[in-house]
Amino acid sequence: MQTEMTILQSSRARIEWDVSAMDIAPMKFRDRVESATFNLLGSSVTAYVSFYPKGHIHNRPTVYLHVSGPAKVEASLDLDGNVFSFETEFEKADGWGKAFLPVKDKYSKIIVTVRSVMMKDKDDDTLSFTFTK
């Protein structure tokens, strides 16, 4: 099961996704819901969030940030107040995620806070064009 849901609030640095109306009862392990696509800090790097309410690798709710191409991203993922901060370098279009606790029957919101994005120069593969908040 894969569904797309729209993002309700967005600023350049913070994206809030209200998932409170999501009916997760019929969902199974590895079923996911995806957010709409958004730009990271006004850069040309686009991203979206995928949410596995009943887990993806483990039987725990999992949130992933997926980016459209090579970039170094410093951000945090927040599922109902449980926050995971990370900094990672994506070599290609890929995702980075976190399994959260506790497992619940209902979730309220997912927040992505982006602190910086460094895009890779297409000609020489070096990081350039830093966007920060």
Residues 20-37 have pLDDT tens digits of 999 999 999 999 999 999
Q: How many structural domains does the chain have?
A: 1
* Overall pTM surpassing 0.85 (yes/no): no
Scan for tokens 């370098």, then name that residue: 89
Contacts of 70 (CB under 8 A, 6+ apart): 90, 91, 92, 119, 120, 125
> Which residue range forms the structural domain that includes residue 99?
2-132
Are 78 and 15 within 8 A, CB to CB? no
Query: Residue 28: its pLDDT value, please?
Result: 93
pLDDT of 83-119, one tens digit each? Answer: 999 999 988 889 889 988 878 889 999 999 999 888 8
